[in-house]
Amino acid sequence: MRPVPASPPFEFCQYPPPEVGYKVTSCWDGTGGLRVLLIEDDVALGEAVRDHVAGGAHAVDWMKTIDTAASALSTTGYGLVLLDLRLPDGSGIALLKDIRARGITTPVIILTAHDQISDRIEGLNSGADDYLVKPFNLGELTARMLAVSRRYEGRPVSLVRIGDLEIDAAERRVSSAGEAIALSGREWAVLDTLSARPGAVVSKAQIEEALYAFGSEIESNTVEVYVSRLRRKLGRDQIATLRGVGYRLGRER
Amino acid sequence: MRPVPASPPFEFCQYPPPEVGYKVTSCWDGTGGLRVLLIEDDVALGEAVRDHVAGGAHAVDWMKTIDTAASALSTTGYGLVLLDLRLPDGSGIALLKDIRARGITTPVIILTAHDQISDRIEGLNSGADDYLVKPFNLGELTARMLAVSRRYEGRPVSLVRIGDLEIDAAERRVSSAGEAIALSGREWAVLDTLSARPGAVVSKAQIEEALYAFGSEIESNTVEVYVSRLRRKLGRDQIATLRGVGYRLGRER
DNA sequence: TGGCGACTTTCAGGCTGCTGTCAGGTTTCA
DNA sequence: TGAAACCTGACAGCAGCCTGAAAGTCGCCA
């Protein structure tokens, strides 16, 4: 995997999640390629696909079991999934149905030796975007990957990961260690402000500006109160205080 | 407020363009099927495809020349195009490149006898979404049509499962814990809107847009009422309220 | 054509939980 | 050690939401 730059620009997606906050705005690898998850247990085929796809300047994570693939996908950071149907520890179709049912919309192309028409139809109806039968031509695979992913492009994604905290601004979702957390309007506004520039310190004044219309007179310690409420929900040390300066998302190092 | 007629169902698209007051969410034929443009000069194959696709409750316009197809496409009212590459009066690839250059994004599936890998790659790279080589299975064609069109609509799956709730948009069916649930037209419209992008927050305004003619004045809390009724039928916590923001399918924590 | 039932819309009153404020406590730093 | 900065539990007020009821609308059928 390519090294992760230590500073912005943020517009790429990280997997596995980085320690410090990165803003994820799309499922590209930061250099113009797609970030691809390859789920395949056949070593020879997996190597061929990985080398070809990566050679086309895409970033490929290769996983060989349902189990690891499922946990990787739960973090929704991929632009495309290449899925072998027959895996040693379970069915690819079950995995596909499961991730679709969980609302994960990442495009999926099935790569398989199953060549019955009924298999193809089942695969596509289970939520796959395309279906390629082995043996296939690697050039065609790339063309189909691009065909599928250009449909997926342009969807609004804005995901920020900081430690085990995941903030999806587009979907207005927060989770801590995989657990969804419900926030009120003001709580969300504060968190949203803090996550707008991950890693940066945000002053109380900036948060107040985000919370209230310009010119509003706020005389109390509202920001402190909401930070306190957020900490209670997200975990005490997910928001660091910089005395006299402001707040920052993430644990102090 | 001017209601949309209760039947046929709401999730349709009108072609030619509807009168003011009808919601156009996609290029459906008004009865739940896709509006399909078939561009094919082979009479036997064309008839087979038309009959099969139309038999699957889709509306099919069949054109046999580049010329008529191009003018039909310029009005962009189709949900899907099935394109034969070799036509008597020109190249399907040229037509495809032309409509893409004109910004028409309607999904295109190429149906062709050209089975060289290079042909497939050229077709996909020219803007096609899928590529089926003759002879093909008509069931697979339908599955691919649905896969492509649901992606086009930003609706990655027609079947959504959230917890023990199962919503099949294509079949217009809902079940909770395996038990079928009957919904009225408006109830379905609200649920359909909520399930179009599983996991996303849907504002009251968006739901109202789905229910009522454009420009209608909002005078009451109709959306709240239907959410309340849906909850009574589906289960209290199947729809989460995000105060001041909207609603979302699924339980909130 | 009229009656019927299912569906839709509106309304009002009640309820929930969000919000801003404050006070008293804790932490940090000079 | 004192002052400043920050934290947090509690609470009243209220906006936003929920829901039962009733009136209105529509399609169906005899």
Any domain includes B64 = yes
Q: Considering B111, B128, B152, which residue would you say is the last residue of a domain?
A: B152
Please report the pLDDT score of residue B5 as a whole number: 33
Q: Are residues A38 and A135 in the same domain?
A: yes
Mean pLDDT, rounded, for B4-18 = 29
Q: Considering B152, B186, B204, which residue would you say is the last residue of a domain?
A: B152
Answer for the pair A110, A133: CB distance below 8 angstroms, yes or no: no
Any domain includes A18 = no
Helix axis angle for B204-211 and B222-234, nearest 10°, is 90
Answer whether A171 sits within 8 Å of B200, measured CB to CB: yes
Helix, coil or strand: residue B122: helix
Q: Are residues B168 and B145 in the same domain?
A: no
Q: Are residues B145 and B59 in the same domain?
A: yes
Domain coverage including residue A241: 159-249
Q: How far apart are CA B169 and CA B197, in angstroms?
A: 12
pLDDT at residue A32 tops 70:
no
Closest Cα in chain A to B115: A140
Provide the CATH number for the domain around residue B127.
Answer: 3.40.50.2300
Longest dimension (CA), chain B: 61
Q: Are residues A119 and A219 in the same domain?
A: no
Q: What digits encode the pLDDT tens for the residues A164-182?
A: 888 888 788 898 887 889 9
- CB contact set of A248 (below 8 Å; sequence gap of 6+): A194, A199, A200, A201, A202, A239, A240, A242
Q: Are residues A143 and A171 in the same domain?
A: no
Please report the pLDDT score of residue A110 as a whole number: 92
Average pLDDT, chain B: 76
Q: Which residue is nearest to nucleotide C11 (CA to C1')?
A: B220
CA of A117 vs chain B CAs: smallest distance (Å): 7
Answer for the pair B197, B191: CB distance below 8 angstroms, yes or no: no
Flag the least confident range among A13-17, A186-190, A235-239.
A13-17
Flag the least confident range among A35-44, A190-199, A215-224.
A215-224
Q: Are residues B217 and B243 in the same domain?
A: yes
Buried b (16+ CB within 10 A) or exposed e, B71-108: ebbeeebbbbbbbbbebeeeebbebbebbeeeebebbb
The residue to which tokens 């039909």 are assigned: B72
Beta bridge partners of A38: A62, A82
Mean pLDDT, rounded, for A58-62 = 80
pLDDT over 70, % of chain B: 78
Any domain includes A19 = no
Closest Cα in chain A to B123: A143
Any domain includes B237 = yes
Answer whether A121 sits within 8 Å of B143, measured CB to CB: yes
Q: How many Cβ contacts (< 8 angstroms) between chains A and B?
A: 100
DSSP letter (8 states) at residue B74: T
- What is the DSSP code string of A79-147? SEEEEESEETTEEHHHHHHHHHHTT----EEEEES---HHHHHHHHHTT-SEEEESS--HHHHHHHHHH
Q: How confident is the model at residue A60 (pLDDT cuts 50, 70, 90)?
A: confident
Q: What digits encode the pLDDT tens for the residues A94-150?
A: 888 888 776 677 889 999 887 777 888 888 888 888 998 888 888 888 888 888 887
Q: Are residues A190 and A131 in the same domain?
A: no
Please report the pLDDT score of residue B120 as a whole number: 85
Q: Are residues B130 and B178 in the same domain?
A: no
Any domain includes A2 = no
CA of B206 vs chain A CAs: smallest distance (Å): 15
Closest Cα in chain B to A140: B121
Q: Are residues A141 and A107 in the same domain?
A: yes
DSSP letter (8 states) at residue B237: G
- CB contact set of B223 (below 8 Å; sequence gap of 6+): B190, B204, B207, B208, B211
For the record, the structure tokens of A120 come out as 């193809």
Any domain includes A121 = yes
Q: How many residues does chain A have?
A: 253
Distance of CA B8 to the CA centre of its chain: 15
Q: How far apart are CA A112 and CA A136, in angstroms?
A: 9
B143 closest CB neighbour out of A97, A125, A140: A125
pLDDT at residue B150 tops 80:
no
Q: How far apart are CA A162 and CA A238, in angstroms?
A: 9
Please report the pLDDT score of residue A138 as a whole number: 86
Q: Are residues A129 and A33 in the same domain?
A: yes
Mean pLDDT, rounded, for B184-209 = 86
Interface list for chain B against chain A, based on CB atoms closer than 8 Å = 107, 117, 120-121, 124-125, 128-131, 137, 139-140, 142-144, 146-148, 151-152, 154, 156-157, 159-162, 197-201, 240, 242-245, 252-253
Any domain includes B19 = no
For the record, the structure tokens of A92 come out as 């690819």
Buried b (16+ CB within 10 A) or exposed e, A232-243: ebbbeebbeeee
Task: Considering only CA atoms, give the Rg of chain B.
Answer: 20
Q: Which residue is nearest to nucleotide C21 (CA to C1')?
A: A220
Please report the pLDDT score of residue A42 as a whole number: 86
Q: What digits encode the pLDDT tens for the residues B19-51?
A: 222 233 345 544 445 778 899 888 888 888 888
Q: Are residues B142 and B168 in the same domain?
A: no
pLDDT at residue B15 tops 50:
no
Query: B47-54: which pairs have CB atoms within 8 A and are 24 or more residues apart?
Result: B48/B138, B49/B82, B49/B111, B49/B138, B49/B141, B52/B138, B52/B141, B52/B142, B53/B82, B53/B138, B53/B141, B53/B142, B53/B145
- What is the DSSP code string of A125-143? HTT-SEEEESS--HHHHHH
pLDDT at residue B3 tops 70:
no
CA of A102 to C1' of D21 (A): 38
Total domains in the fold of chain B: 2
ipTM: 0.64
Q: How far apart are CA A125 and CA B77, in angstroms?
A: 25
Q: Is the dihedral of CA B187, B189, B194, B198 positive or negative?
A: positive
On chain A, the residues whose CB falls within 8 A of the CB of B121 are 139-140, 142-143
Strand bridging mode A35-39 / A86-87: unpaired
Any domain includes A17 = no
Q: Are residues A121 and A203 in the same domain?
A: no
Closest Cα in chain B to A128: B147
Residue B176 phi, psi dihedral angles, 5° rounding: -125, 125
Q: Considering B94, B129, B152, which residue would you say is the last residue of a domain?
A: B152
Beta strands in chain B (DSSP E): 35-39, 59-63, 80-84, 86-87, 90-91, 108-112, 130-133, 159-162, 165-168, 173-176, 179-181, 239-242, 246-249
The residue to which tokens 């789905």 are assigned: B210
Q: How confident is the model at residue B190 (pLDDT cuts 50, 70, 90)?
A: very high
Residue that wins the pLDDT comparison between B181 and B14 = B181
- CB contact set of A231 (below 8 Å; sequence gap of 6+): A237, A238, A239
Provide the CATH number for the domain around residue A231.
Answer: 1.10.10.10
A128 closest CB neighbour out of B147, B160, B197: B147
The residue to which tokens 């644990």 are assigned: A251
